[in-house]
Structure 1
Amino acid sequence: MTFDLNACIRRLESAQARQNDAFTLAAGGRSRPVGGGYAHFRGIGHPLNQALGLVDSITEADLAAIEAFLGTPTVLELSPAADPSLWLLLARRGYRLGQFQQLLVREVPEGAFPDSDWDVSPVGSSECDLQGRVVGAGFAERDDWRTFQPPFSLPADVPRCLRYLVRVAGEPAGGATLGWVDDVALLSGDAVLPGFRGRGLQKRLIQARLREAARLGCRVACASTLPSTPSQRSYEACGFRVAYPKVEMVKD
């Protein structure tokens, strides 16, 4: 039996790019197709302005158009499936290495996880602001989510997207997001408040989203983390394995 890594990368990169297209449009931004993926623009200086899923060849004119569309900095999130000609083009146009990520993947289990001991559930539109504050505070390494103002928020009405909260004794402790494109489940936005870490809450968030992904008919689940982080270890503890590395290339 052979495994076609390039086909796997194209499938997952396309799903991530299409999900981010939905996020961008719901937030009032714009997306531009390029190189088999999209460039996403949410506003001048927005931290999620970036291009994803670039797996086909692009010309220097294409890249210049992306730079004009995204503004400064220009961020390209690239996989090993990126056309080899792109790397020389990036060097010529002054790009630098931003950071690495790991793309983790697993098959979606059927009923593999029991219900959580913690209160993990998707939130309705009335709690989207609460969930955004909790997740934003978790990423900012802060516990004061009630007064925290996140730098951006995920719109409440994104198609094919669920937002989750985990509570401990009724107190919001963390959150995460589940999206799905075709039969691919996309797990993202995981954050636990510092005061609640070390209790396995992220694992419960992962398991809850996998249960829902199975109900939705998804066959594969993926997530991106920074290398060698507690998040990567939580995903690996839930059966995910690193499929391939990703790299952010940045032009300042």
Structure 2
Amino acid sequence: MNDSRTSLFCDLDLAARIERAESQFMAECTRAVGGRTGGNSFSIPLAGGVASFAEADSPYNKVAGLGFDGVPTAAELDEVERAYAACGAPVQVELSNLADPETLDVLTGRGYRLVSFENVLGRALAGGVEPAVPLGMEVRRTREEEFEDWLDVVVRATLHPDTQGVPWYEDFPRHILENAERDGAAAGVVHYSALRDGVILGGGGLRVADGIAQMAGAGTAPEHRRQGVQTALTTARLADAAAAGCDIAVVTTQPGSKSQENVQRQGFGVLYTRAVLAKQP
């Protein structure tokens, strides 16, 4: 296969498609948490997006996909804010800079404040992708009996991030990160491992939806960084996504981060930025 590096232009239709896939993923993860805990999880449709609460401190507690199918009304936002308040959680909205500008006006008028940014990057997959795996390394789907080792590596990587670029706005405890990975799998994320001599060096996830390959996180054990692990994981997942018929791959990173640098080396370009806005209960 050829390694396609076609530059992408992100118009409103493409942004809406990506945000819709993200919203669906949040809703499916939240359902998975509800099935696991039997708790007070919820997923509320909101102006084309979704407001999700999975469990306390979960990364799936967010409002995603707003601004591409109407502007949320005061009554709709009242309902969402009451639901989060009942769980003792803030409302966190991830809003694309390509969303209807009126959405931002409505949110700031209700007291939401800007707390962070994140970049959404994409790469076309037309023509396929050739995996780039260093000699002596293997990348493949994680076997069931390897999952706990995979989970330990990925969570340790998340808890010890590279310090380059803008730091993440949120920190999550270990057990919540572990829960999030398990629930992501229930929502369709497939796990990949990079191994050398049978030892898992790093891992990543891939979810396919509507022709979009969502690169659902990746991490390398701190002791194995700078050895080409991320390049190997990225290209292997891209190759599988292209073979599955996806036309685009997307990934979310912190601005200026090592993760962004890594994926840009693999042909990803910034499509748009999300502003992260929050309102305390």
Structure 1 length-normalised TM: 0.89
Gap change, CA 1:125 and 1:17, over 3 Å in 2: farther
Deviation at 1:141, TM superposition (A): 0.7
Residue 21 of structure 1 corresponds to 27
Structure with the higher helix share, 1 or 2: 2
Residue 5 of structure 2 corresponds to none
Counterpart Cα distance in 2 of 1:228 and 1:129: 31
Count of residue pairs brought into register by the alignment: 246
Gap change, CA 1:41 and 1:126, over 3 Å in 2: farther
Residue 246 of structure 2: which of 218, 226, 237 is its match?
218
Residue 64 of structure 2 corresponds to 52
Question: Conserved in 2, the CA contact under 8 Å of 1:53 and 1:77?
Answer: yes
Q: Say yes or no: does 1:61 pair with 2:51.
A: no
Say which SS state the counterpart of residue 242 (structure 1) adopts.
strand
The answer for unaligned runs of 5 or more in structure 1 is: 143-147
Aligned counterparts, 1:131-146, within 5 A: 131-141=150-160
- What amino acid does structure 1 have at the position aligned with 2:120? L
Runs of 4+ with >4 A deviation: none
Residue 175 of structure 1 corresponds to 203
Counterpart Cα distance in 2 of 1:112 and 1:224: 20
Aligned counterparts, 1:93-108, within 5 A: 93-108=110-125
Aligned counterparts, 1:146-157, within 5 A: 149-152=174-177, 153=179, 154-155=181-182, 157=185
Counterpart Cα distance in 2 of 1:127 and 1:169: 14
Q: Say yes or no: does 1:240 pair with 2:268.
A: yes
Residue 7 of structure 1: which of 9, 13, 21 is its match?
13
Counterpart Cα distance in 2 of 1:4 and 1:165: 31
Aligned-residue sequence identity (percent) comes to 30
Residue 186 of structure 2 corresponds to 158
Counterpart Cα distance in 2 of 1:67 and 1:133: 35
Say which SS state the counterpart of residue 155 (structure 1) adopts.
helix
Question: Conserved in 1, the CA contact under 8 Å of 2:159 and 2:174?
Answer: no
Structure 2 length-normalised TM: 0.80
Counterpart Cα distance in 1 of 2:146 and 2:101: 45
Deviation at 1:41, TM superposition (A): 1.1
The answer for unaligned runs of 5 or more in structure 2 is: 1-8, 35-40, 162-172
Q: Say yes or no: does 1:31 pair with 2:49.
A: no
- What amino acid does structure 2 have at the position aligned with 1:180? V
CA RMSD of aligned residues (A): 2.2
Mean alpha-carbon deviation: is it higher for 159-168 or for 170-179? 159-168
Deviation at 1:60, TM superposition (A): 1.6
Gap change, CA 1:115 and 1:229, over 3 Å in 2: closer
Mean alpha-carbon deviation: is it higher for 195-204 or for 82-91? 82-91
Mean alpha-carbon deviation: is it higher for 86-95 or for 205-214? 86-95
Residue 148 of structure 2 corresponds to 129
Deviation at 1:4, TM superposition (A): 6.2
- What amino acid does structure 1 have at the position aligned with 2:84? L
- What amino acid does structure 1 have at the position aligned with 2:96? S
Counterpart Cα distance in 2 of 1:89 and 1:114: 45
Say which SS state the counterpart of residue 176 (structure 2) adopts.
coil
Counterpart Cα distance in 1 of 2:131 and 2:200: 21
Q: Say yes or no: does 1:120 pair with 2:139.
A: yes
